[in-house]
Structure 1
Amino acid sequence: MARERRRKPIEGTDRRRHERDPRSIQPECKVVKGKVDITHICLALAAICCVVGFSVYFYNLYMQWWLSRRVITPHPSPRILNSNSSSPTVTPEKFWGSYRPQVYFGMKTRSPKSLVTGLMWMQQTELDVHLRHTCEQSDGLPSYGWLMHDGLNFGVQEIRDFGFLLKTEFAKRIGGQHGGDWSWRITGRAENAEHQASLISLLFYVATDGQGMLQPHLEGGTRLAFLTGSTEELGHFQITFQKPWVGENKGPKYASFNHLKAVSPGLHRLTDVVKSSLSNHFIHSPPGGKKKHYFAVDTYQPAPESPGSTPPSENCQVLVHQVTLQLPFQIEVVFESGSFMDRPNQLSGEVLSAVLAQHQTAFEDKFSSIFQLRKKGFSPLQEQFAMAALSNMIGGMGYFYGHSIVQSKYNDQPVLYPEGPLFTAVPARSFFPRGFLWDEGFHQLLVSQWDTAMSQEVIASWLDLMNVEGWIPREQILDNEARSKVPSEFILQRNENANPPTLFLVLEKLIRGLEVASLVQKDELYLRKLLPRLRSWYDWYNTTQAGPLPYTFRWRGRDEDTNMYLNPKTLTSGLDDYPRASHPSSDERHVDLRCWMALASGVMADVCTLLGEPAEEYQRMQQVLSNNVLLEEQHWSEQLNAFADYGNHTQSVVLEREKIYIPPGQPRHHYPSPRLVRAIRKPPKLQYVGALGYVSLFPFLLRVLQPDSPRLETLFRDMRNEKKLWTPYGLRSLSKTSPLYLKYNTEHDGPYWRGPIWININYLAVKALHHYSSTEGPFRQQATDLYQQLRSNLITNIYHQYLETGYIWEQYNDSTGKGQGSYPFTGWSSLVVLMMAEEY
C-alpha cells in the first residue's frame, strides 16, 4: 500500500503545477543532496587521512634516513687543508717520511695509496724464528727509539735487541716532481764478544698498496740488486740495495742473499706473508768459516681463501730483499725518483755521511736555541734525553687514510665514516699507533714548540674529520693496519661520545701574543679557515654534553653494564676508570668537563676577537663558567672539602664472588666458575662523589680559580699531602684516602687512573703552578714552592727511569716511581721536555 500511495499520479492542473514548481520537490531533493554530501565528505576525509598517513609515514622514513645519514655527512664548511696540500708538487719536503709509527723502521708517502717500504730482521737460531717488524711489547726489546728526528729531513734511531744493536738512519734530498730521493743506512754491531758471531738477517721490503708495479733485477741469480717500479703518484723510480760492508769503509762483508716476490693480501698482512715464505734449508757459507743453516724467504703459499672473501688485487705486490750476515755490518738502500734529472750524485756512502752530519748539527743547534736546556742547568746527557723524547714524538707521527666505523642511535648497524686522511702524532708506537683526540692536544703542545707549521697542519687535519653535527670520532682507526692493532670492542665510534677538547690547549698557546694589529695574513687566513669548524665543535659539546642544570656538563658514554664493574668506567672523559658516580644517570654533573668548556669558551672568544668576529656569546659563557661562586655551588663539597662530581652514588660497593647453586651429586666442573660481580651494600643517593684526585684539581689545572680563591690553599694542601696526592715522583691520580685507591674494577681490570702518576695531568699541574706563582695573590709563594718541587720530582724520576729501562713510560708507579703500562710512551709523557725548558 505504501508503494501505491507514492506512485499515485496528481491529476489536472495541480499535477502540472507541481511538476513545474521546484518548491514542490524541495524536501525530497534536500534528503538526496544530504546523502550525497555526507558520502563525498566521508570519501574526502578518508582520502585526506590516507594522504596524511602516507605523508607522515614517508616523512618519518625520510627523517629516519636523514638523521641516520648525519653521522656520516661531512661538515659543510670548506676543508682547512687543500686536497693537494701534502702532494709532492706543493710540499715536496713533507711528501716522504717515517709516517709508519707502528713499525720499527719504514717509510711511506702522504697519500691514500702509498708505496710502502720497511725493514724486518731476525737473529738466526736453529729452534725458532723471532721476526721483528711491527713494534710489539711482546718482543721485549731492551730499548728502541729515535735519538734525533727533525720531522722533515732525517732521522737517527737506535734499536737494542738481545746481544746486538741496530742503528737506522735516513736522509732525504728534494728534487724532481715526485718528492725526490731518500737513502737508508742500517748499521749493526754486537754489544759483547759473545754475540760477535751472531748471524743476523735483514729483510728490506717494498710493497704497493693496490696500484703500481714493481720489477726485480737480480744479480747472480739470487741477489736483488735493485728494483724498478712506477706508481701514479711517484712516476718511475728505482730502489738500489747496496752490497754490505764491514762499516766505516773497512771493506766488503760476506753475506747470503735471498729474495721474494709475492702478491700481498694487504699491508696489515706483510709479516704473515714473510713468515709463511720462510724455509730453513739454506746454508750460510762464509769463506774459511763455519757453515750454518738459516731461515730465508723462499716461496709464499697464501692461505686458502675463505668462502665469500675477496681475493687480493694482482697489483698489490711485495718484493723482499734478504741479507744474512754476521756482525758488524753496514748496509744502504737508495731510492731515486725518475723525475730527478739533475741530481749531483747518489745519496750514499760519504755523500750520505756528510748529509747526515749536516742535518744532525742543524738539529742540535735548533734544539738548543728553542729549549735552552744548558742555560737551565741540565747536563749534556740530560739534553740528549730531551732530544730523544722530542724526536720520538716527531718520529712517531703518522699519516693515515681510510674510514672510521661509526654508529649513531639512528643507525641499526655500524656505517663507514667518510674516507679521509689524518696526519697526527700517536701515544705509543707499540700499543697505541693511531690517533687519539684527547691525546693530540697534549702532543701538539710540544710539537708546536718545535715546528708551529707542523702543529697547525695536525690541528687542521683533525678538524677536517668533523661531520655536519660538529662531532669528531675520538679514536681514529682508519685502515686495516690500524685495525689489526685494536681490540674489536674499541673499533666502533659512537657520535654521542666526546673526548676532552684538548686541541684548545694548543690553540690557546698558538694565539697567545697575537694581536689584531700584528696578525699576519697567513695566521689570519688559517684562523678564518678554522673558525667555522671550531664553532660547530664547541656547539656540539655545549649541546650533546650538557648537564641537568644550566652551565653544568656530563660525559656521555659511561659503561652501561654496571653489574660487572666496581665503578662503571667513563672512557670518554679520557680518565677511564677514575671514580665517578656509582650509578650512571642523567643527574650527573662532571667538574672536569665543566672546566674544559671554560677553557674552550675563552679560546673561542679570543679567536673571534682576533678576527673581528662576534665574540660576546663566548665571552659571556667564559665569564659564567669562570664564576667561582657558581662553580662552588655546583661542585664544591663542604663535607669532602674538595671539588667533586655529583650524581647517584654510594660508597658501599664491593666486588664479591657470585653464588652458583650446584644440585647435590652434580660435578662442579659442569658449571661455570663463579664471577666477581658488584654488590651494593647501601643504596645510592644523589650526592657528591667522594674521590679526591685529578678530577678534584681541574678548576686549578685549567686555571679557572681566581688567584685569591681560598680553595687554592685547600688544593695546595691536598696536593702536598703524602697521604693524599703527593709522591716523590709526581702527583698520584687518586688519593690514598679515596675508597677506590688502587682497587681493581673487575677481576682482571687493574687500576689505571686510580693511583698511578700520569704525566699529562702533572704537566697541567706544573703549568698551573707556574701561572699562579707569577700572578699576584695570597697563595703565590705556596704556588712557587710547589712548582719547584713538583717540576724537579717529575723530571728527575722520568729521566732516571729512562736511564734504567731505556724507555719513557705511559704512567709511573706512585709508590716506587717505576715506569709501567705501555712503552715507549712518547706521546704526552714527552711533555717532560717542556717542563725542563719551562715552556708553558
Structure 2
Amino acid sequence: MLVPVCCYTSEYTSILPRKAGVHCKQCSLLRSLAEFGPYGEMARQRRFRLSAGQLTSGGGHTHHDLALLDEAHALSRFEGPSRVDRRRNHSPRRICPAILYMSVAGLVIVAVAYFLYLGYMETRINTPISAPKVVVQSGLEVPERYWGTYRPGVYFGTRTRHPTSLVTGLMWFVPGHFQNNMLALRHWCDQADDLPKYGWEIHDCRNVGVQKIVDKSVVLQTSFVKRLGGQHGGDWSARITVSPKSKRYEGGQASLMYYVALDPEDASGVLQPIFGTSQSLGSLRGISDSVGGFRLHVVNTSGVVLHHHVLSTKHMGLHMLKESVFKGLRVFQGKNENDKMIGLAGEMFDHDDPDREPNFVVYQVTGKVPFEIEIIYESDSYIKRPGMLMGEALTEEMNVFINKFHQKFEEKFSLESKGFNGEEVAIAKAALSNMIGGVGYFYGSSKVLGEYNNDPVPYWKAPLFSAVPSRSFFPRGFLWDEGFHNLLISKWDREISLDILAHWFDLMNWDGWIPREQILGVEARARVPDEFVVQRGKNANPPTLLLTLHSMMAGFKKELSDSDYEYLSHLWPRLRAWYYWFNGTQYGDLPGTYRWRGRDPRAVRELNPKTLTSGLDDYPRASHPTSDERHLDLRCWMTLASGLMADIAKLIEKDPNKFDESYKYLSNNNVLDALHWSYAANGYMDFGLHSDNIELKRLSEKSDMKRVVHDTPKLKFVDSFGYVSFFPLFLQIIDPYSAKLGKVLEDLRQPDLLWTSYGLRSLAKNSPIYNKRNTEHDPPYWRGAIWINMNYLAIRALHYYSNVDGPHRDLAKEIYISLRDNVMKNVIREYKRTGYLWEHYNDKTGRGEGCRPFTGWSALVVLVMGETF
C-alpha cells in the first residue's frame, strides 16, 4: 500500500506499521496516518489514488471517480476489527524490587518530561520565529519617514515611528452643537459624529497631506508638510483653516484645540507650556525619548481670535485624551453679562500629585469664522534651518510637494490620458490619498491563545507599520486586508509597501503563524469589543500578502537589485515557515484539499456557522462544520502561494523543486475538477456536510432565535454560486484552453447569479441563504453585497484571460470591458453622492453600505481606472 508523503504533493512512500508516523518531506511535519483518511490500514484491500488515468479528457471526472471519492470517505471512518478475546488464567508472579524502583523512576521521568514538554508548547504561541528580521532599518534610521500622520484613528494627528512616541492632535467643537446631550467635541474618527464628509484629498505618505473635513456648520482643512534636518526627523508644520459651510454661518464661532501628549512610558519626557499673545497664541518646550528636545508654536495667521486658553495637566491615558479635555473644560464669563464661553482651565492637577509636571498640554483657540492657525514644530537638533516653516514659506514648501504629487499620480495611473475628467481624477486621487494617509504606526502586544494554553497570553511587544481598512471603524491592522491595500500602495511607492510587508512578517511566531488582527497599543485596544481581541493560534487568514508579492514579481524578474535580493533573502525563512504552517494546520482529509479552521459546529444561533478566518465571514459554507470539508478558496490561495514560492526561490538561488512540484499538483485542473467541480450545479463549489433546508426560528416567545434543520445533512457539494465558486478564475488557475473556463465566464455574466449593473454581488440570488440574516442581530454581510476587492480580482483575471491565447479570449475581453465600466461608474457615482468610499455596495441599488469611509481595499478602484494590474 502507498500513502502520500504530504497533503499538497503527489509524492508517495510505502506504508508504515499501524499508528506509525509519516514524515512529510515538504513541510517537515510528523503527521499521524489517521490524518490521511482513506490511507489507513483497512485501505490495503483497495487502493485509492487520484491519477490522470481516472479523469475524463474534458478535465472532469466520471461517476466511477466520484464513487471512489465516496468510498474513500467511508474507508476513513472504518474503525477496524473488534478486539480478540485474550482472557487467560495466569498464576501470580513476584515482582523484583529493583524492577519496581526502576519502573517508578521511569514513570517519574516520563511525567517530568511530559510537563516540561507542555510548558514548552505553551510558550511556542508567543515566541518569535528564530530567523533574521525583515525590517533592517526603522525609526531614525529612516529619517524621511520618521514623522507622519501615523494616527489614522483621529481626524488629524501626528506621531513618530518610535514605540513611546510624542503624539500631537486636533480636537474641535462648535458652540451650541451637542451630541448625546454632551458638547460635540470631535477627536476620534467616529461614524456616530455623522460628518457629511472627511478625508485626505492629497497625501504622498512621505512629505505632504491635505485633508478636508465637513462638519455640520463649518469646513476644516488640515494641511501637513515636513522639512528634513537635524537628528530627529526634522521639522513639520500644520495649517488648520476654518471656513463656514454656508454664508448663514459666516461670523459664527468655532473652537480649535491642538494638543501635545507624552507616552506614559517615556522616561525622559518633559513639557513646559508658555502662554502667548494675541498673535503667538501659545508655545511650549519639551523633551521626549522619541525626538529629543523640541519647540512647538501655535500661531494665528488669519481671521479674528476671540479668546484662547490652555490646559496643562496629566492625561488619564492616551486612549482617554478627549476625557481629559472634558475634565478640564470650564464656563467663563465674558465682558458682557450674556457673554459666556467654554474654555480650558489652565493648570489642573490632583491634590495628591507630588510633582505637578504635565504630560498633556492643550492649546484652545476660539475664533470668528473664517480664521486660520498654524502649528509649527521644530527640532532642537535642526540647527541651520532656513527659517520657520510658517506663512509664505509653508505655502511655498507645500505647493512644491503638491505639484510633485499630481505629476507622479499621472505618471503612475495615466487617468487624464485615458480620458477621465477632472472630477473623476480628483476622486481617484482622494481614494489613493486616503489609503496611504491611513497608514499608521502602532506598538504593543496582541492577546493570543494557543492550543496548549488555558488562558490568553500576551504576544511579544512589537511595532506595526500598516494601512487600515477604515479610519472610523477599523483603525488597526488586518492581515487579510493588508495584501489588498498593498496592491495599490506598491504601485504608488514600492519602498513603503516593502516596509509594510516587512513589519507584518516580523510578527511571525515560532510555528510560522501571524495573528490575523493586530490590536496594538491602548488607543487601538480601546476601540475593539472584547470578543474580537484574542487571536487563536490555529486560525489562519488568506495569505494576501503573497498577492502583493506576486504582483511585484514582474518587476523583480525584470531587474533584481542588490537591495531586492537582500530583502527577499531576509524574507525567505519567514515565507517558508508561513507556507509550511498553512500546509501543516489547514490541510483537509484528502490529499490536495484544504479546510479553514475556526468554524464552530456548536453555533446553533447562526444560520450558517461563520468562517471568519477565510475573510468572507458569513459566506455560506457547509451547514455542519466537520473535518470532511473542502474549501475551494483556500486551495486556490495555496496554489498561488506555491507558484510564488517557486518563483522567489529561483530569484534568490534557493531550491525551487518542492514548491514547483506542489504548484504543478495544485494547479492541475484535472485534480481541481475532481475535488471541487459539482456536476449538479455545473460549477466549482465547496464540499462538506450540508443541508439547504434550514432556518432561524424562535422556538418559544421568550427564547433566542436558533437554527432549525428540517432534513438530514449529507456529504455533498455546497451548490451556491458566489465569490468562492469563481476563485479558480479570480486567481487565474483555470487553464486558458479549458472548456470549463468558457462555462465559468458565461456564469459570471448571468444576472441571476453574480452579475449586476454595479459590479459582482457576493452570492447568487438563487442561493437559499441570499441576503438572509445569520443571527437575529447580524445582517447579511457576504450574502449579496458587492465588494470591491473581489471585483478587482475578477477584473484583473478577465484582463489576463483577454490577453493570453485561448478560445475564450474574446469573451473575457467583452466581460472585462462591461464589468470594469460598471464598478468604476458606481463607485464614482456614490462618492459624488455621499463624499465617501464604502465598505460594500448594495447589489440592487448600488448604494454604499457598511462603514465609511472605507478607503482600504475599496480604493482598488484606482487600479481598475488605471488598468494597472
After superposition, what is the alpha-carbon deviation per residue over 1:11-63, rounded to whole angstroms, capped at 9, x for unaligned? xxxxxxxxxxxxxxxxxxxxxxxxxxx99x73322221221111111111111
Pairwise CA distance, 1:519: 2.3
Query: Which position in structure 1 is the counterpart of 2:603?
Result: 562
Contact 2:280 2:297 in 1 (8 A): no
Between 261-270 and 422-431, report the one with greater CA deviation: 261-270
Amino acid at match of 1:492: V
Give the aligned residue type for 1:100.
R
**Residue 382 and residue 748 in structure 1: after superposition, are their counterparts in 2 closer, same or farther (change >3 A)?**
same
Residue 593 of structure 1: which of 596, 613, 634 is its match? 634
Structure 2 letter corresponding to 1:547: G
Q: Map of 1:14-413 to 2, 5 A cutoff?
A: 42-82=96-136, 85-88=137-140, 90-125=141-176, 128-210=182-264, 211=266, 212-219=269-276, 225-246=282-303, 253-283=304-334, 292-298=339-345, 317-413=359-455
- What is residue 7 of structure 1 aligned with on the other side? none
Equivalent residues in 2 for 1:514-593 (5 A)? 514-515=556-557, 518-593=559-634
Residue 611 of structure 1 corresponds to: 652
| Matched residue count | 771
Distance 1:69 1:423 in 2: 26
Alpha-carbon displacement from aligned partner over 1:105-153 (angstroms, at most 9, x marks no partner): 0000001000000000001117640000000000000000000001100
Task: Look up the match of 1:32.
Answer: none
Q: Distance in 2 between matches of 1:769 and 1:76?
A: 41
Name the CA distance, whole Å, in 2 between partners of 1:791 and 1:125: 46
- Structure 1 distance, partners of 2:130, 2:355, is 35
Alignment-mate amino acid for residue 298 of structure 1:
A
Alpha-carbon contact 1:146-1:391 (below 8 Å) kept: yes
Q: Deviations over 1:677-725 (max 9, x none)?
A: 1111001111111211000000000001000112222222221111111
Aligned partner of 1:35 in structure 2 is: none
Alignment TM-score, normalising by the size of structure 2: 0.87
Q: Is the 8 A contact 1:256 1:284 kept in 2?
A: no
Distance 1:313 1:74, change over 3 A: farther
Matched to 1:86, the amino acid is S
Q: In structure 2, how many angstroms separate the alpha carbons of the residues matched to 1:126 and 1:620?
A: 65
**Residue identity matched to 1:534:** L
User: Which structure would you say has the larger Rg?
Assistant: 1
> Which one of 701, 705, 715 corresponds to residue 676 of structure 1?
705
> Where does residue 22 of structure 1 map in the other structure?
none
- Deviation digits for residues 485-531 of structure 1 (CA, Å, limit 9, x no counterpart): 11110000001000000011110111214338x42211111110110
Q: State the distance in 1 between where 2:349 and 2:817 align.
A: 60
Q: Is the 8 Å Cα contact of residues 87 and 95 (structure 1) preserved in structure 2?
A: yes
TM score, norm. by length of structure 1: 0.89
Residues 164 and 289 in structure 2, CA contact (< 8 A), matched pair in contact too: no
Give the whole-Å Cα distance in 1 for the aligned partners of 2:415 and 2:400.
Answer: 22
Please say if residues 201 and 325 of structure 1, whose CA atoms lie closer than 8 Å, have aligned partners that are also in contact: yes
Residue pair 1:222, 1:257 contacting (<8 A) in 2 also: no
- Could you tell me how far apart the structure 2 residues matched to 1:338 and 1:786 are? 59
2:688 aligns with: 647
Q: Is the 8 A contact 1:126 1:294 kept in 2?
A: no
2 CA distance for matches of 1:527 and 1:201? Answer: 50
Q: Shift of the alpha carbon at 1:244?
A: 4.5
**Cα distance in 2, alignment partners of residues 820 and 300 from structure 1:** 45
Q: CA deviation at 1:226?
A: 0.5
The 3 A distance-change label for structure 1 pair 470 and 282 is: farther
Query: Residue 846 of structure 2: which of 789, 795, 817 is its match?
Result: 817
Which segment is superposed worse, 479-488 or 587-596? 479-488
Query: SS state of the match for residue 716, structure 2?
Result: strand
SS in structure 1 of the partner of residue 165 of structure 2: coil
Question: In percent, how many aligned pairs have the same letter?
Answer: 47
C-alpha deviations, 1:415-442, integer Å up to 9, x for none?
Answer: 0001100000000000000000010000
CA displacement 1:635-670 (0-9 Å, x = unmatched)? 00000111111111111111111126xxxxxxxxxx
1:207 is displaced (CA, Å) by 0.1
Aligned-partner SS, 1:533: helix
When structure 1 is superposed on structure 2, of 223-232 and 585-594 the one drifting more is 223-232
Residue 789 of structure 1, aligned match among 818, 842, 850? 818
User: Are the counterparts in 2 of residues 265 and 316 from structure 1 also a CA contact under 8 Å?
Assistant: no
Alignment RMSD: 2.0
1:719 equivalent in alignment to 2:748: yes
Q: What is the CA-CA distance between 1:448 and the residue it aligns to?
A: 0.4
User: Contact between 2:166 and 2:290, CA under 8 Å: does it hold in 1?
Assistant: no
8 Å contact 2:446–2:520 — kept in the other structure?
yes
CA distance in 1, matches of 2:556, 2:262: 45
The separation in 1 between residues aligned to 2:335 and 2:203, in whole angstroms, is 36
Cα distance in structure 2, aligned partners of 1:240 and 1:606: 53
1:731 is matched with which residue: 760, 765, 780? 760
In structure 2, what residue type is equivalent to 1:103? V
CA distance in 2, matches of 1:257, 1:820: 41
Aligned-partner SS, 1:203 = strand
- C-alpha distance after superposition, 1:167-221 (max 9, x if no partner): 0001100011111100010011112121113211101000000220100111369
Q: Secondary structure at the match of 1:508?
A: helix
1:670 aligned residue: none
Distance of 2:791 and 2:350 partners within structure 1: 49
Residues 177, 736 of structure 1: CA spacing in aligned structure 2 closer, same or farther, 3 A cutoff?
A: same
| Partners of 1:284 and 1:333 in 2: CA distance | 29
Cα distance between partner residues in 2 of 1:784 and 1:404: 45
Moved over 4 A (4+): 220-224, 299-305, 311-316
The within-5 A match list for 1:376-455 is 376-455=418-497
The question of 1:498 aligning with 2:540 is answered yes
Determine which of 795, 804, 829 is the counterpart of 1:775.
Answer: 804
* Cα deviation, residue 254, structure 1: 2.8
Question: 2:793 is matched by which residue type in structure 1?
Answer: L
SS state at 2:706 partner: strand
- Classify 1:361/1:763 alpha carbon distance in 2 versus 1 (closer, same or farther; 3 Å): same
Aligned partners of 2:666 and 2:156: how far apart in 1? Answer: 47
> Relative to 1, partners in 2 of residues 1:283 and 1:722: Cα closer, same or farther, differing over 3 Å?
farther
Secondary structure of the residue aligned to 1:141 is: coil
2:17 match: none
> CA 1:302–1:45 in 2, change beyond 3 Å: closer, same or farther?
farther
Q: Any idea what SS the aligned residue of 1:104 has?
A: coil
Question: How many Å apart are 1:478 and its aligned residue?
Answer: 1.0
Q: Relative to 1, partners in 2 of residues 1:629 and 1:94: Cα closer, same or farther, differing over 3 Å?
A: same
- State the partner residue of 1:624: 665
8 Å CA contact retained: 2:642, 2:663 = yes
2:697 matches 1:656: yes
